[in-house]
Structure 1
Amino acid sequence: MAVYQVLVVDDSAFMRKIVTDLIEADPEFKVAATASTGKEAIQKAVDVKPDVITMDVEMPEMNGLDALKSIMQQSSVPVIMLSGINEQGMKETIMALEAGAFDFIRKPSISHDQDIAQVGKALVERMRAAMNEIKRKADREASLQKRKEIQEDVLRQSQRVQRETPAQVHREPAQKRIDPVQPVTRPTSEQSERFQSQSLKRNAPLGDQKKERSDKKAEAPKSPDRLPDVREAKTRKPVKPVPTPKEIRNSEPLRSAVDQVAAASSRPISKAVAGTEGAFNKIVAIGCSTGGPRALKTLLEELPADLPAPVIIVQHMPPNFTRSLAQRLNTFSPLHVVEAEDGMVLKKGSAYIAPGGYHIIVSNTADGKFILKLTEEHPVNGHRPSVDTMFESLLPFTSLQRHLVLLTGMGSDGARMMKKLYEAGVTSTFAENEETCVVYGMPRSAVELQCVRHLLPLQEIAPKLVQAVK
């Protein structure tokens, strides 16, 4: 079993001890060094070359955010942020995720042993996910390199064959075939007599030759007065009678076309949702987890303010952090981004982020408006909020054009209900591809269920989504 080396960074010696004990409770990880400041962390990241780093967000001299940015410039080691629940710590945590941190956990409460155990489990889970992603990406790069080498080898062989072929196909000019000499045979007496008779006829006087031809002509049978014209027989086509108006009305092609028009007119027409917030008949639903804040920033920056649909987002995140995430994303996106509240009326051109600790559900009112409901029902797939719960709430609303998106994240949350909506005829489904995912878990699960219409790198999702919605 591989033992991964960890660098623990925290300005509190007591917290460094707690985090070290939580990490080393798993035999897969070992704390190789600790640091108490951001500057010390930068230097030890170079000296120790750890496999993973845990970084406190708030520290004196240099905070965790600035240290993270410096470390990211030097290497691609995954960094997991440890954040307090104060407002400043949460804001800097969101910024750290945008800057390249792999993930974050909140700091454990020292007074609750159960809380410390839960945080320790979450920390090890994220570190293991980081190691798995590094291995996956290394395997993928090795596979791509192998494929490239094979292609280059095939190309070299092809070029070598092309160079050698002209010399191989050059041959000596073909010589004329000489048949063996046939033996000379003498004609028989009967052949000689026939030859002499024919020769005498050819040399006979002209009058005798004409007489002989006229005798043969007289003996020939008489031909009919007019032979049929072969060309005329081949090209002549039977003339079809002109159909009557009654026959036209009863014709199969016309009846088929009429049936198609009637069927189309009988289908239910998608009506726009009316209300004081403006009409819309389209909705976008997005799910993400590990790596999600950075992915959401990239996506929402490219969605226009006049997007004719509301956007609902589930990001796996603890309570309180989702409010900081919404405030942060609102500064970048042309959309109006807010943390969702119970009973909010959906508006096109707005984005709603499910609050940590609550499931988000789309519902409707008697007057035709669509609203959001928040529930504290049991976690689904280990998460609350859950992407599957949000997607499932969209199943009844067939009048809406539903566009589903799964971005980077651990696990498989969202894939099962994306499949169900896909089979029900949802308008479009998108997933972030392996190349740009921080963790290719949730999108991969949807791909394996064969319910993704557009598998794209992160930067290409927004333009395609806007095109699909508009």
Structure 2
Amino acid sequence: MSKSRQEKKGVMNKTIRVLIVDDSAYIRKVVKQMLLRSPFIEVVGIARDGEEALDAIETLNPDVVTLDLIMPGMDGVALLREQMARRPVPVVIVSIANEGGEMVLAALDAGAVDFLQKPTALATEKIFEISDELIDKVKAAANVPLNRLPVATQLSTPPPPQQKAPPKSGVVDLVAIGISTGGPQALGFCIAQLPADLPVPVAIVLHMPVGYTKMYARRLDEISAVKVVEAGEGDLLAPGTVYIAPAGRHLTFVRQWDDTVRIHLDARPFDTLHRPSVDVMFHSAAEVYGRRVLGVVMTGMGSDGTQGAAWIKSNGGLIFTEAEETCVVYGMPRSVVEAGLNDQSIPLDRLVSAILKVL
């Protein structure tokens, strides 16, 4: 297997010290072998459970912790809550696929930077397939300033919704948001502020493994004045509703004979780095809505959304990015800004107000 994409670009210039926390001796061994494929990563220790991990973090002071969630005694979520109360440290969850979904979301609430699916015990030979992705996520986590770690996320204590949306001016008919690393916390903060009378629909591509988007949408819906759903094939876009693309399928738009717009989900195109892809959604939004689109690119690793932002701009639409000072990872927004496609760069706490102004 080739080195990670970031190493090919020569991004790293320091050694990252990693602590591996997992109750499985086999997984600890394999994760260590995967991480050591990078010359920029040093595994400084291992821990078998939460209690042991707390001591190891205090003693070893790692740059990043990889953390299993399902462990005897103190599980991963409990460890996160305790450690973040003591001293924030970047944590990447390495969790069993499609199991413990609520625990994954709870771990993100508790302050984890990112997460990665690992195969079940019945498919452990596949774990090396995620090597590059794990290395990339660990590197991204190592570069997150500690004061931007998603501690005490707004999913638990959302800000009050805006009292009233401004009257629709016809400038924007769709808000399309692309987001990745740090996304669940940032979206929780923003979506909870949207008013129930929001005059347009919102479509979101969030890079998240299969099996979690429906649960995440349900949680957002519980804390929001707007309706939040996992997008379904043929859904009719309606004002005041937020549609989250299901993991594993691209979200696009189809205008109907009566001028309404419905959602189409597809595995194609196959050649994108992410599925769903922000670029694919933005491209479709520009084709269907023309200049009446506001694209928003928020915290995330990589450059997904830049090509799509170019389509939106070429059709006369608007592009906002989250400002660097509030991004957990200033990758996707930076790519858009450096491409000269950005209309406004806005801190997270002012982003919803800026969006409402252009509606």
Q: TM-score, normalised by structure 2?
A: 0.85
Residue 355 of structure 1 aligns to a residue whose secondary structure is: coil
Partner of 2:84 in structure 1? Answer: 72
Deviation readout 1:55-114 (Å, 9 max, x if unpaired): 111222222112112222233321001122345x11221222233211100123444466
Partner of 1:24 in structure 2? Answer: 36
CA contact (8 A) 1:271 1:399 kept: no
CA contact (8 A) 1:429 1:453 kept: yes
**Of 205, 216, 224, which aligns to 1:333?**
224
* Distance of 1:16 and 1:406 partners within structure 2: 35
**Of 134, 140, 164, which aligns to 1:129?**
140
Residue 304 of structure 1 aligns to a residue whose secondary structure is: coil
Deviation readout 1:189-235 (Å, 9 max, x if unpaired): xxxxxxxxxxxxxxxxxxxxxxxxxxxxxxxxxxxxxxxxxxxxxxx
Partner of 2:211 in structure 1? Answer: 320
* Distance of 2:202 and 2:102 partners within structure 1: 23
Q: How does 1:151-230 map to 2 (within 5 A)?
A: none
Partner of 1:304 in structure 2? Answer: 195
Partner of 1:433 in structure 2? Answer: 323
**Of 152, 156, 175, which aligns to 1:284?**
175
Residue 116 of structure 2 aligns to a residue whose secondary structure is: strand
* Distance of 1:381 and 1:97 partners within structure 2: 26
Partner of 1:180 in structure 2? Answer: none
Higher strand share: 2
CA contact (8 A) 1:311 1:350 kept: yes
Partner of 1:451 in structure 2? Answer: 341
Deviation readout 1:133-185 (Å, 9 max, x if unpaired): 459x9xxxxxxxxxxxxxxxxxxxxxxxxxxxxxxxxxxxxxxxxxxxxxxxx
* Distance of 2:217 and 2:203 partners within structure 1: 12
Residue 239 of structure 2 aligns to a residue whose secondary structure is: coil
Residue 409 of structure 1 aligns to a residue whose secondary structure is: coil
CA contact (8 A) 2:22 2:49 kept: yes
Paired residue type of 2:308: M
Q: Work out whether 1:7 is the aligned partner of 2:7.
A: no
CA contact (8 A) 1:330 1:337 kept: yes
* Distance of 1:463 and 1:346 partners within structure 2: 22
Q: Work out whether 1:392 is the aligned partner of 2:283.
A: yes
Q: Cα 1:420–1:329, aligned 2, differ >3 Å: closer, same or farther? A: same
Paired residue type of 2:339: L
CA contact (8 A) 2:36 2:43 kept: yes
Paired residue type of 2:356: V
Residue 71 of structure 1 aligns to a residue whose secondary structure is: helix
CA contact (8 A) 1:282 1:400 kept: no
Q: Work out whether 1:96 is the aligned partner of 2:107.
A: yes
Contiguous gaps of at least 5 residues in structure 2? 1-12, 149-167
Paired residue type of 1:442: M
Residue 14 of structure 1 aligns to a residue whose secondary structure is: helix
CA contact (8 A) 1:379 1:385 kept: no
Q: Work out whether 1:55 is the aligned partner of 2:67.
A: yes
Contiguous gaps of at least 5 residues in structure 1? 138-269, 273-279
Q: TM-score, normalised by structure 1?
A: 0.66
Partner of 1:414 in structure 2? Answer: 305
Q: Work out whether 1:105 is the aligned partner of 2:141.
A: no
Residue 345 of structure 1 aligns to a residue whose secondary structure is: coil
Q: Work out whether 1:119 is the aligned partner of 2:9.
A: no
Cα distance, 1:281 vs. partner? Answer: 6.9
Q: Work out whether 1:39 is the aligned partner of 2:21.
A: no
* Distance of 1:324 and 1:15 partners within structure 2: 27
**Of 258, 283, 303, which aligns to 1:367?**
258
Q: Relative CO higher for 1 or 2, CA cutoff 8 Å, sep ≥ 6?
A: 2
Paired residue type of 2:305: G
Q: Cα 1:453–1:2, aligned 2, differ >3 Å: closer, same or farther? A: closer
Cα distance, 1:125 vs. partner? Answer: 1.2
CA contact (8 A) 1:380 1:389 kept: no
Cα distance, 1:2 vs. partner? Answer: 3.8
Paired residue type of 1:24: L
* Distance of 1:98 and 1:463 partners within structure 2: 24
Cα distance, 1:395 vs. partner? Answer: 2.0
Q: Cα 1:378–1:116, aligned 2, differ >3 Å: closer, same or farther? A: farther
Paired residue type of 1:404: G
Residue 294 of structure 1 aligns to a residue whose secondary structure is: helix
Q: Cα 1:355–1:363, aligned 2, differ >3 Å: closer, same or farther? A: same
Cα distance, 1:451 vs. partner? Answer: 2.0
Moved more, 284-293 or 363-372: 363-372
Partner of 1:83 in structure 2? Answer: 95
Q: Cα 1:353–1:22, aligned 2, differ >3 Å: closer, same or farther? A: same
Residue 18 of structure 2 aligns to a residue whose secondary structure is: strand
* Distance of 2:290 and 2:127 partners within structure 1: 47
* Distance of 1:336 and 1:292 partners within structure 2: 19
Partner of 1:260 in structure 2? Answer: none
Partner of 1:352 in structure 2? Answer: 243
Task: Point out the structure with max Rg over C-alpha.
Answer: 1
CA contact (8 A) 1:83 1:90 kept: no
Q: Cα 1:416–1:281, aligned 2, differ >3 Å: closer, same or farther? A: closer
- Number of aligned residue pairs: give it: 327
Cα distance, 1:13 vs. partner? Answer: 2.0
Q: Cα 1:327–1:415, aligned 2, differ >3 Å: closer, same or farther? A: same
RMSD: 2.3
Partner of 2:353 in structure 1? Answer: 463
Paired residue type of 1:321: Y
